[in-house]
Amino acid sequence: MGYPVISLLFITRLSTCNMARDYVDEDISRALTLHSDYYTDSNLFEDIKKSFANHWHFAIHDSEFKDCNVIPLERMGVLINDEIILTKSENYNCLSNVCTHRAMLLIEEKCHTSRIQCPYHGRTFDLNGKFLKMPKFENVANFPSADDNLNKFEFKNWKNLFFINNVDNDFEGFINAINERVGWMDIENFEYEQSKDRSHLINANWALYVDNYLEGFHIPYVHGDLNKIIEYDSYKTELFSNGVLQIGLAKSGELCFDLPQESPDYGLNIAAYYFWVFPNMMFNFYPWGLSVNIVLPLDKSHSKILYRGYVGNRNLLGKGAGGDLDKVEEEDQKIVESVQLGVNSKSYVRGRYSPEKELGVHHFHRLLTNSLK
């Protein structure tokens, strides 16, 4: 008869332990950083990864349709557990990339086509996802039905940047902070630059990559060349409801934006705007255009980082804070892989924040822990 009491006490202690582990004080001066479990625990990783499906995710810029009208987005299988394609005909469509017959993936590479045909058994759809025909199904009862069409997903177009969601979330709230700060840019006419595509596999938890991105604290110690361009002591961090903006001010004589009067930052020598949007997107605006980082969580100790580039001014490529991005990425990856080894050490559980330099990291940790409640 004593066993149930012992079990209840054990559960109570476990629950109290988890509450402490998952708590990040709103006062950064008192707060402890994320518990190491967030970077090392497989079950916690899976819970976090499932939550990714509840958020908007960046897809493409419209200029990627230049030489095609169907684009598969294989990364969405990782992010929202759905295989997705984008199509462009008389309108845009965000469709399932899974055949409604036997679940074969329909499109593997970008292409230009007037219809979508399954390579397995020939089932065919139009670019709106409507079922057209299927061989050897003449005698199937109640066929076709609406279930034979491809599933459609919610998507939004902001200045020719497309975002996808499979739940009904507020897009205006999602994009508002970026729109207010850089909506003056001619992003609609940026051009996709395939030569800037990158895919990096790193031996680190996805959240460590985000941690590192969200503070300029490490710039003098890790990014020597970038530190020569950006005013470290003037580096600014601003928080908004679903993300963080970091502003790098250019040193005298270095490349900066020619800001219009309608910009909230008119008169400042800004070298770069670094936006992170929860949970895994980075939008890096430079005088030459936009570089996007997309962080894919693979497992508790491995991630994939995708880079995409969209150019507004080709004459400025390779210059300023957005110059040698490959070198900066290599330096960052070396750091986060080393930190991954550290958080796996029994000697480390959690640390403290610098109120001056780690506001963005603290905000991320609060958003992450709150998203799991």
In single-letter form, the type of residue at position 75 comes to R
Q: Which CATH class is domain 56-143+150-165?
A: mainly beta
25-29, 112-116, 324-328, 334-338, range with the lowest pLDDT:
324-328
Residue 142: CB partners within 8 Å, gap ≥ 6?
none
Kindly list the distances between the CA atom of residue 323 and the CA atoms of 226, 254, 320, 328, in Å, as whole numbers in the listed order.
9, 12, 5, 9
Q: What is the pLDDT of residues 61-91, one digit of tens each?
A: 999 999 999 999 999 999 999 999 999 998 9
Locus of tokens 């090392």: 40
254 in Cβ contact with 271 (< 8 Å) = yes
pLDDT at 220: 83
Residues 364 and 34: their CA atoms lie apart, in Å, by 10
Mean pLDDT, all residues of the chain: 92
Question: Does residue 144 have a cis bond before it (omega within 30 degrees)?
Answer: yes
Match 């007037």 to its residue by tokens: 114
On whether the CB atoms of residues 188 and 160 are closer than 8 A, the answer is: yes
DSSP state of 37: H
Q: Mind giving me the DSSP string for 130-148?
A: -EEE-TT-TT-TT-S-GGG
Domain ranges, ordered by start, for the chain: 56-143+150-165, 189-371
List all residues 6 or more positions away from 192 whose beta carbon is below 8 Å from its beta carbon: 60, 61, 63, 64, 66, 308, 309, 310
Per DSSP, the three-state class of 113 is: coil
Helix axes 42-51, 359-371, angle to 10 degrees: 90
Over residues 317-329, mean pLDDT: 88
Q: How far apart are the first and last CA of the chain?
A: 34
Task: Name the amino acid, one letter, at 70.
Answer: V
pTM of the model: 0.92
pLDDT at 12 (0 to 100): 42
Q: Are 47 and 148 in contact (CB under 8 A)?
A: no
Q: What are phi and psi of 308, to 5 degrees?
A: -135, 140
Residue 237 · residue 249 · CB < 8 Å = no
Question: What's the confidence (pLDDT) of residue 184?
Answer: 97
% residues pLDDT > 70 (the chain): 95
189-371 homologous superfamily: Naphthalene 1,2-dioxygenase Alpha Subunit; Chain A, domain 1 (3.90.380.10)
Give dist(CA 279, CA 275) in Å, integer. Answer: 12
**Burial class of 253 by CB neighbour count within 10 A (0 to 12, 13 to 18, 19+):** exposed
Please determine whether the domains at 56-143+150-165 and 189-371 fall in the same fold group of CATH: no
- The answer to whether residue 248 scores a pLDDT higher than 80 is yes
Query: Would residue 106 be called left, alpha or beta, if left means φ above 0 and alpha means ψ between -120 and 50 degrees?
Result: alpha
For residues 47-57, average pLDDT: 94
Task: Out of 9-13, 230-234, 296-300, 332-336, pick the least confident.
Answer: 9-13
Among 98-102, 179-183, 219-223, 283-287, name the one with the lowest average pLDDT.
Answer: 219-223
**Rounded mean pLDDT of 13-18?**
49
Confidence band for 3, pLDDT divided at 50, 70 and 90: very low
Quickly tell me which residue has 């469709």 as its tokens: 95
**Rounded to whole angstroms, how far apart are CA atoms 52 and 343?**
23
3-state secondary structure of 16: helix
pLDDT tens, residue by residue, 341-360: 999 999 999 999 999 999 99
Instruction: Report which of residues 314 and 8 the model is more confident about.
Output: 314
What's the pLDDT tens digit per position in 184-199? 999 999 999 999 999 9
